[in-house]
Amino acid sequence: MVAMSTVMRETPLHEWHAANGGRMVDFAGWSMPVQYTSIVDEHHATRRQAGLFDISHMGRLRFDGSGAGPLLDSLLTRRVDNLKVGQVRYSLMTNESGGILDDVLVYRVAERDGAGEHHLLVVNASNREKIVAWIEQHLAADTTVDAKMTDLTFDWAMIAVQGPVAVELAGEFVDVDPAAMKYYTVTPTIVGLESGAKLDALVSRTGYTGEDGVELIVPSEWAAELWQELLDRGASRGATPVGLGARDTLRLEAAMPLYGHELDEAISPQQAGLDFAVNLTRGRGGPPRDFPGADVMRGLVDDATLPRRVGLVADGGRAPREHCPVLFDGKVVGEVTSGTHSPTLGHPIAMAYVAPQAAAVGTDVVVDVRGRQLPARVAELPFYTREH
């Protein structure tokens, strides 16, 4: 029997994390920092000043060729054919049964020299190999498609700068004005470092925290230098490194689904409340749009029997955790997918899938937390919306 390797992948910032108090854990096969100081402190820093996140473990797939756009358009639930240069769009990739293979961001990127463009797909670390194989399968099925996919995950690093002062801080390193960029846009840029290095990079007005901010994609070999300079220059403004723990509490307050929790291949976009990310036609009154699982999804549009993603809040007690049963009228009607004690709101929150009869906002339910009955109620999502 051949032993399987247990060696975890490391991002270009791994040595920095390990040397600066990062508590490293295995996340989707990557050695990643879960926290540096405390999850609550890192959470508040992001909400109030700025948090820096190493998200280099996310998959980055580049697509070139005249058929790249049509290929992605045929595989994603959201239209790509009308994506303008410089736009970023949240979408899903589904299987033939309508289950979610991954939730992704698709970018249409201009080349810096103005000579052409390409598409970029950012996928979850846990799904990168699966998505690469899925796309290769479709490329192999039609060898006439003028499209080339290149996995750049290990060649480029990705740093998220999030929070009220994030855009200002990141703007000091790039030759464009991030404050002038609209949300969900991307542009090529030059990142300037104190050493004099000038890096070809991408800056996008995107994030996974519920705060304003940007994400920077830079060559791997320069990631540590940029990371340290961002922290040094941002220190007086409260900028701090943030691990996966606070990244999770931040996205949960913002009700952003996480693959493997709120999303998987057994869940349809309709159940997850992601109808906005599914275009079943080419437009209002337009013809049907085909992508894997589209016909199945059309049959689910009016299905009122499936469990739905909801928010839950409780006034106190232990926070609900993943897999905790949800009860209504004494019967189990669902299950928690993510839960925590909200640092911003000061009480427990959770997301869950529950039966339709218990899904209305304001419905009183009970969450079984290791044998203890925690009263809760269904709440509107998101739990938190930034004011600034």
- What is the DSSP code (8-state) at residue 363? -
Percent of the chain with pLDDT over 70: 98
Same domain, 241 and 380: no
pLDDT value for 113:
75
Q: Where are the alpha helices (DSSP H) in 106-187?
A: 128-141, 166-171
Tell me what the mean pLDDT of segment 313-323 comes to. Answer: 91
Angle (nearest 5°) at CA 33 between 31 and 37: 160
Q: Which domain holds residue 49?
A: 9-56+155-253
Residues 299 and 239 in one domain: no
Contacts of 180 (CB under 8 A, 6+ apart): none
Quick check: is 261 in a domain?
Answer: no
Q: How far apart are CA 206 and CA 105, in angstroms?
A: 9
- 274 and 135 inside one domain: yes
- Burial class from Cβ neighbours inside 10 Å (0-12, 13-18, 19+) for residue 253 reads buried
Of 232, 266, 228, the closest CA to residue 19 belongs to 228
3-state SS assignment for residue 92: strand
pLDDT at 317: 80
Q: Report the pLDDT value the prediction gives residue 388, as an integer from 0 to 100.
A: 64
Both tokens of 96, joined, read: 């033939």
Domain count, the chain: 3
* Same domain assignment for residues 45 and 167: yes
153 within 8 A of 128, measured Cβ to Cβ: yes
Are 206 and 116 members of one domain?
A: no
Residue 272 has pLDDT above 70, yes or no: yes
Residue 3 inside a domain? The answer is no
Q: What is the CATH number of the domain that holds 244?
A: 3.30.1360.120
Same domain, 249 and 377: no
* Whether the predicted pLDDT of 57 surpasses 70: yes
pLDDT confidence tier of residue 285, bands split at 50, 70 and 90: confident
Instruction: Provide the angle, in degrees to the nearest 10, between the axes of the packed helices 68-75 and 128-141.
Output: 110
Instruction: Examine the domain organization and report whether 333 and 211 are in the same domain.
Output: no
The DSSP H or E segment spanning 106 is strand 100-110
Q: Which two tokens stand for residue 280?
A: 């079943």
Instruction: Note whether residue 1 is domain-resident.
Output: no
pLDDT (average), residues 66-81: 97
Structural domain includes residue 2: no
The answer to whether residue 342 scores a pLDDT higher than 50 is yes
* Residue labelled with tokens 């993510």: 338
Report which of residues 365 and 3 the model is more confident about.
365
Residue 88 belongs to a domain: yes
Same domain (yes/no): 144, 23: no
From the list 112, 153, 160, the residue with the least C-alpha distance to 132 is: 153
To the nearest whole number, what is the mean pLDDT of the chain?
A: 95
- Chain centroid offset of residue 64 CA: 23
pLDDT at residue 271 tops 70: yes
Q: Give the tens place of pLDDT for each residue, 205-256.
A: 999 999 999 999 999 999 999 999 999 999 999 999 999 999 999 999 999 9
Tell me, yes or no, whether 259 lies in a domain: no
Question: Could you read off the pLDDT of 112-153 as tens digits, one per residue?
Answer: 877 899 999 999 999 999 999 999 999 999 989 999 999 999
245 and 160 in a common domain:
yes
pLDDT on residue 112: 82
Domain CATH code at residue 342: 2.40.30.110
Same domain, 312 and 284: no
- How far is the C-alpha of 379 from the C-alpha of 363, rounded, in Å? 8
What does the pLDDT read at residue 3? 45
Domain match, 47 and 90 both = no
User: Across the strands, what pairs with 122?
Assistant: 60, 105
- Which are the contacts of 4, defined by CB distance < 8 A and separation ≥ 6? none
Token output for 159: 């740093």
Residues 144, 170 within the same domain:
no
What b-and-e string marks burial along 351-375, b requiring 16 or more CB atoms within 10 Å of the CB?
Answer: bbbbbeebbeeebebbbbbeeeebe
Binned at pLDDT 50, 70 and 90, residue 316 comes out as confident
Structural domain includes residue 258: no
Distance of CA 274 to the CA centre of its chain: 14
Residue 263 is assigned to a structural domain of this protein: no
